[in-house]
Amino acid sequence: MRKIAMVGAGSMAEALISGMVNNHLLESKQIWVTNRSNKERLQELKNTYGVLTTYHLQELCQGADAIILAMKPKDALNALVTIKEFLEEDAMVISVLAGVSISSIELLLEKPMSIVRAMPNTSATIGKSATALASNDQVTNEQSDRVEKIFQTVGVTRFVKEEQLDAVTGLSGSGPAYVYYLFEAMEKSAVELGLEKELVKDLIIQTFLGAAEMLSKTTKSASQLREEVTSPGGTTEAGLKVLSDMHVDQAFFNCIKEAAAQSKRLGENISNEMESKVVKR
């Protein structure tokens, strides 16, 4: 890749910059960044990572293999309308804008372009994101490889159909919060049983890491692994019976289903609002 242009300079933009630079996907000087008006933030990224910054949009987009849209969704309309005339036709537009559909981006750009939507999660900041990618028909195999390489610097990637992104949002997009919620519940219980909070934290973290590593290193299903831990009449069976009696599995099902439904509702609202503004322009 020759050059990547980043529009937006928030936490996700920084995670991607850090991932690309630290994993040597690109040299710092191959990454250009802009935002709406926060010069101090651009200077911070320049000082930390050595990237180039500019408010000249032609300079930003010229020769870029990919333009990453990392602003807030509410700012997407103005940003796309402003930069579209500077986008080169062989460039790929990568959007990390939650809820903004590929069709809405196509409508705003008003010309055929390769477009990829990405749904990372907050664990991208430590290189452990689970990122789903969806593309339009303009994206070439070479471009697919490029976008995978970009997001693999912050975790694992999988291509899905665009209509599956709402489910991905409900699962892995919001997923870290579910894990933190479970952590909180386990921590509170253990402290009430008399364990010191710092000890509890270490034990729970290692338990989560160990279980995740087991799942990643074995061909056994989660169900099989659970059964292997559960001895008849033992402590694990007693604890799991409480979870079963309280329908915790159904609670998680409803949780992910509702998060996915909310993602779909928000996405439709954002896309409808953007498209209505385009019509009025």
| Structural domain boundaries, residue 62 | 4-162
**Is 85 in the same domain as 43?**
yes
Residue-level pLDDT at 278: 66
Let me know whether 139 and 10 are in one domain. yes
Does the structure show a pLDDT above 90 at 242? yes
Is 103 contained in some domain? yes
Q: What pLDDT, on a 0 to 100 scale, did the predictor assign at position 267?
A: 86
What predicted TM-score, i.e. pTM, was given to this entire model?
0.91
Angle between helices 248-280 and 76-83 (to 10 degrees): 50
Mean pLDDT, the chain, whole residue set? 94
Does one domain contain both 67 and 187? no
CB contact at 8 A, 124 and 96: no
Cα separations in angstroms, 174 against 125, 148, 178, 194, 263: 15, 21, 7, 31, 10
Residue 200 lies in a domain: yes
Query: Is 241 inside any structural domain?
Result: yes
Query: Residue 243 half-sphere exposure, CB side, CA atoms within 13 Å?
Result: 14
Assigned domain for 265 exists = no
Q: Among 113, 139, 162, identify where a domain stops.
A: 162
Determine, yes or no, domain membership for 9: yes
Number of domains in the chain: 2
> Residues 23, 27, 29, 33: is their CA dihedral positive or negative?
negative
Residues in Cβ contact with 7 at an 8 Å cutoff, skipping those fewer than 6 apart: 34, 35, 60, 67, 68, 69, 70, 71, 79, 83
88 and 210, same domain (yes or no): no
Across the range 62-80, mean pLDDT stands at: 91
Per residue in 121-178, pLDDT (tens digit) is 999 999 999 999 999 999 999 999 999 999 999 999 999 999 999 999 999 999 999 9
